[in-house]
Amino acid sequence: MQRGLSRVISLIARRPRERDARCMPLFKTLLFSVAVPGTVVVLVPRWLMRGAGTLQDGWPGLAGALLFVCGAALYFQCAWDFAVRGRGTPAPVDPPRQLIVAGAYKFVRNPMYVGVLAMVLGEAALYRAGVLLGYAGALLLTFHLFIVTYEEPTLRRKFGASHERYCASVPRWLPRLRPWTG
């Protein structure tokens, strides 16, 4: 957290043109995050539950809340890495300029998707909503198909051998126990 705060302060202290160039990926990432994951995690679940839903107390509610918060933290850390390290966004139309293999990406290739799934599963537990478990399954299938048919081939073309080495060493969905050092 302290490191992230010092980065923000250093961005603010830069000259306007340089600061604007560095801040634009952060701004676009924020817009994308509100529009896409915001819809997937907030609007669609509310619609599926028909606006109803009672927060669960006890262990199910606590577990759901913890899973949701952890998923959100994972997503936003990865979004930060895309914007700051990769100088791009999570949006396919404005991807990072560099292959991101730091942070959560040392453990699993798709931590943003894992974070979104964790938030939806957390909501399912928090509201004890079986319909959200089905939705999470549909999301997993959709994410998987998108990754296999579009994202990975695009990354392979863009980053070549370095992406191949990364894919050979870091699993797509289930995290490694030790970080990849490749």
Residue 28 scores a pLDDT above 90: no
Confidence of residue 18 (pLDDT cuts 50, 70, 90): low
* CATH for the stretch 2-169: 1.20.120.1630
The sign of the dihedral angle between the CA atoms of 131, 136, 139, 140 is negative
pLDDT cut 90: percent of the chain above it? 63
Q: What is the pLDDT of residue 53?
A: 77
| Domain regions of the chain by residue span | 2-169
Cβ partners under 8 Å of residue 120, min gap 6:
40, 41, 45, 71, 132, 135, 136, 139
Which range of 32-41, 77-86, 132-141 scores highest in mean pLDDT? It is 132-141
What pLDDT band is residue 96 in, cutting at 50, 70 and 90? confident
